Chains A and B, each alone.
Chain A
Amino acid sequence: MISGRCAACKYLRRRCPSHCIFSPYFPPNDPQRFACVHRIYGASNVGKMLLKLPPHLRAQTADTLYMEAKCRIQDPVYGCVGIISHLHQQIRIAESQLAKTQAEIAVFNSIAREAQVQEIEADSNFFKNLLPEEITAAGLRSYGYGSPSTQTFKFN
């Protein structure tokens, strides 16, 4: 049957049987897909790999084989391993930048906490030094702690 052959059987110039292992994954409208895969892996190896797997995983396998083959054709020395290596490098850089930024945030946090502690201590000392008669609403107002009330407060 000449019409209806898959890309693999067209490339290999053979009859495309009804249960051709390639035909679901290498349609005739994309001849380059099989050509790539055949160039790197060989039709026989691809067929063996697909046959070893259950049918529901074969489409994904054909896709990833095609991607790796394309990478290898574009970069015959490193193929997709070059991409992996580049990604590892990028991740190392990003992790280092993140650690640096986190360290800077930690510095700001500790400065802010220190400032808070100092303010608490300052205010605590301020109240301790007040004479009892100064601890009135009017007295507090004069120190900047305004209140409309004239209540007297007890400090333990």
Chain B
Amino acid sequence: MKGHEPRSSSSCAACKLLKRRCTPKCIFAPYFSSDEPSKFANVHKVFGASNVSKILTEVPEEQREDTVNSLAYEAEARLRDPVYGCIGAITLLQRKMVELQHDLAIARACLARYAASSSSSASSCSSSLVWDDHVIMPPYPDVPACNGLNYGFSQTSSDLTQYGPVNDFGHSPYVL
């Protein structure tokens, strides 16, 4: 009977899931520890172990941890939202950015009007009393109105499924 080597008690999450021996040179071991089994499970479900291994071997070793973390993030997003994945989050963020830029432009225009009116000499009260039984006080210096500023930003939803159909990838700054 062929003797089996005892399985290492320190198998990484990948080798545990794949039911194989975790060697000292296992490419997954440094990044998929056994106390985070779902991390590798998600990545394997979306990308597949062999594709992850290929991606990791293509990047320098010092960048592999970041690569694994971004793959795990993408996999989780895709599992939560099988249709849009991370692209949905990008679209939401781009819309928020457009709204912010719009509001910032309005606020800056308003501020510029204030600055322009304050730099000109202070206007004296003009005499325009209404001659009636009651005196109406003279008009006061014209203060630029800053109404209509939209500060009701749409909230970035943490639930990636809350966005509707996404058809405007072409309008985003990130035309993928």
Contacts and interface: CB of A to CB of B under 8 A. Distances in A.
Interface of A: 39-42, 44-45, 49, 52-53, 57, 60-61, 63-65, 67-68, 70-72, 76-84, 87-88, 90-91, 94-95, 97-98, 101-102, 104-105, 108-109, 111-112, 115-116, 119-120, 123, 144-147, 149, 151, 153-155
B166 A60 contact: yes
A105 B107 contact: yes
Q: Is the interface of B mostly helix, strand, loop or mixed?
A: helix
Contacts of A80: 74, 86-87, 90, 176
B60 to A, nearest CB: 9
26 contacts: A40-B55, A41-B46, A42-B50, A42-B51, A45-B48, A49-B78, A68-B74, A70-B176, A71-B176, A76-B59, A79-B74, A80-B74, A80-B86, A80-B176, A81-B70, A83-B90, A87-B93, A87-B97, A98-B104, A102-B107, A105-B114, A123-B138, A146-B127, A149-B131, A153-B131, A155-B135
Nearest to A65: B85
Interface stretch (B21-29, B33-41, B139-147): B139-147
A105 B74 contact: no
B100 A64 contact: no
The 4 A-B residue pairs whose C-beta atoms are closest, nearest first, are A81-B70, A87-B93, A108-B114, A67-B176
Nearest to B60: A77
Give the interface residue-count category, chain B. 35 or more
Most buried by B among A65, A78, A80: A80
Given A84-B86, A91-B96, 6 more contacts: A41-B51, A45-B48, A64-B88, A79-B71, A98-B103, A102-B151
A6 B84 CA distance: 23
Contacts of B67: 76-78
B111 interface: yes
A61 B83 contact: yes
A101 B127 contact: no
A62 to B, nearest CB: 10
Given A71-B176, A77-B67, A119-B125, A53 B169 contact: no
A146 B115 CA distance: 32
B90 A94 contact: no
Interface in B131-157: 131, 133, 135, 137-138, 140-141, 143, 146, 151
Nearest to B69: A81
